[in-house]
Amino acid sequence: MHDPQKDDLKLVVKGVTRTFSAGRRQLEALAPLDLTVGQGEFVSLIGPSGCGKSTLFNIVAGVDTPTTGAVAIEGDWQGERAGKVGYMPQQPLLLPWRTAEENVMLGLDVRRVPQKEARQQAHELLKRFGLLEFADSYPATLSGGMRQRIALLRTILFNASFLLLDEPFGALDALTRITLQMWLLDLLESFHSSVLFITHDVREAILLSDRIYVLSARPASVLRIVDVDLPRPRRQQMLAEARAVELEQELILLLMKEQPL
Amino acid sequence: MSLKRLAGYGPAVVLTVAIFLLWELVVRANLVNSHLLPAPIAIMQALVDNWDVLSVHTLQTSLETVLGLAIATVFGLGLAILLDLSPWIRKSVYPLLITSQTIPMVALAPLLVIWFGLDLTPKIIVVTLYCFFPIAVACADGLASTDPELMKLLHSMRASRWQTLWLVRLPGALPSFFSGLRIAATYSVTGAIVGEYVAAEQGLGLYMKTSASSNAIVLVFAAIVVTALLSLFLFGLVSLIEYIALPWQQRFGQKR
Ligand SMILES: Nc1ncnc2c1ncn2[C@@H]1O[C@H](COP(=O)(O)OP(=O)(O)OP(=O)(O)O)[C@@H](O)[C@H]1O
Ligand SMILES: [Mg+2]
């Protein structure tokens, strides 16, 4: 189905391992791991807590290097990866001294885009996605859901073509989570982004993804790859359809086996 | 300032007034010699009567203090950034810094006078030596405590070392910097007075010394009151600057 050698893939991860040395002990976080993300594809990773998902993200984002194996973005196996992905870490990490709008433009500041232009781009993005009224608020005054939206827009303004989202909705209540899932789908629609997405929530993975990688407990390896053939645009109600429910049960059973007692 | 904040100062005001009241009563009841320990009202009276002379000395001391504090701020900030550049620099410079704080200022000040003469320079150096340390240490700690996850984020954006410093680490260290600056501001006046006490042509330190040697104890106290007020004023000024410079911190309670 997907040929890892093909150059039109957004991301290819090949035989990547990562071993941390903690004092005398060696800690294996990733077993040899293979993974691909196609152009415009939404791929989710689900796996037990602590299995090595964030470790993989750090490697793909160019913040960490694999112990063995290789990673290619847009077919480039050699080049520096930092700067080529929009990375949203597990915590929103908004800068408390910057307003929402200034936080959104952080990536442009790093790219040395002139202030005026950067501000204008951030302003337009906030406007387009209905957050203009919060543009001048400091993060401390925003709700958890609003902070995640701002962090998402910051990620997108830095690099919309390829996003790494590490459990962006993990800390939100169920209703806010659903709202944000729909908001994210809308956002991705207009940017045609390719996405690699981490979640613990099986339903969330089904609702958002084209493909789901199920990972084993640490060291993470791929247990199963499932295609989600629900039509787009996706709606919350689709989760009630027979094939979605079936898939959900299948994934949960698979994950339960990986959960330590 | 809101009423609530003003009310927060209530206990301090009550305690201060109580202490001065007790002091006044003790002196008035002739429990101590009022020449050796003048009463608060007498001190205030002396302060007002001698204000024309005192004000000249106060101005001199203020000038030395503010200049010294300003130089210490620049120096302390620069030092904090330098310490942050590499663990090697930190390891080699930090012990020297701490040692510099163990030098007794009363021993150093006369030497400074010999080297630099009677004018402003030796006092400014003393103030700077008193003040740069808390600023540098607080600021270096602030820089060192940057969230490693935030560093990862900037790394993923391919930010340069200086961009990371300028965009994330320095602004994040500002609250620590201001705590250091507030401590330094309280020390600074004392520094100037120590410098003047050793040798000066003008200043509150000189005024205290000459008053003490001519046995005018009430004037020494008057100068002490001015010193205290000057320190409090500087402390307040730093807090005000912090309030204006860090709107995100104060207005919404100290989250984080
Ligand atoms: N820098 C490091 N040094 C040593 N061990 C590390 C380091 N980073 C991660 N680990 C370990 O590697 C393992 C995987 O961590 P990772 O953060 O990738 O898990 P995760 O799948 O993202 O977990 P979660 O779902 O809880 O976010 C953990 O056991 C963790 O303790
Ligand atoms: Mg994680």
CATH fold, domain A1-83+161-261, is Rossmann fold (3.40.50)
Out of A24, A33, A54, give the residue to mutate to test ligand 1, the one with the largest number of ligand atoms within 8 Å of its CB: A54
Residue B256 has pLDDT above 50, yes or no: no
pLDDT above 90: residue B86:
no
* Domain residue ranges of chain B, discontinuous segments joined by +: 38-255
Q: What's the confidence (pLDDT) of residue B1?
A: 52
Name the pTM for this structure: 0.85
Is the pLDDT confidence value at A261 over 70? no
Q: Which fold has domain B38-255?
A: MetI-like fold (1.10.3720)
State pLDDT tens for residues B112-156: 989 998 888 999 999 999 899 999 999 999 999 999 999 999 999
Token pair recorded at residue A236: 């919350």
Amino acid (1-letter code) at residue A115 = Q
Q: Are B61 and B203 in contact (CB under 8 A)?
A: yes
Report pLDDT for A6: 56
Ranges for all domains in chain A classified under CATH 3.40.50.300: 1-83+161-261
Residue A234 pLDDT > 70: yes
Nearest CA to ligand 1 atom 18: A52
Q: Which of A16, A28, A53, A55 to mutate to test the pocket of ligand 1 (most atoms within 8 A of CB)?
A: A55
- pLDDT tens column, A105-159: 999 999 999 999 999 999 999 999 889 999 999 999 999 999 999 999 999 999 9
For the stretch B155-164, pLDDT in tens is 999 999 999 9
Interface of A with B in 167-226 (CB under 8 A): none
Whether chain A has a CB inside 8 Å of the CB on B158: the answer is yes
Q: What is the mean pLDDT of residues A14-43?
A: 91
Task: Report ipTM for this prediction.
Answer: 0.90
Full strand arrangement of the beta sheet holding A194-199: A86-88, A162-166, A194-199, A42-46, A211-215, A222-227
- Ligand 2 is an ion; its neighbours by CB within 5 Å are A 54
- When the pLDDT of each residue in chain A is averaged and rounded to a whole number, the result is 90
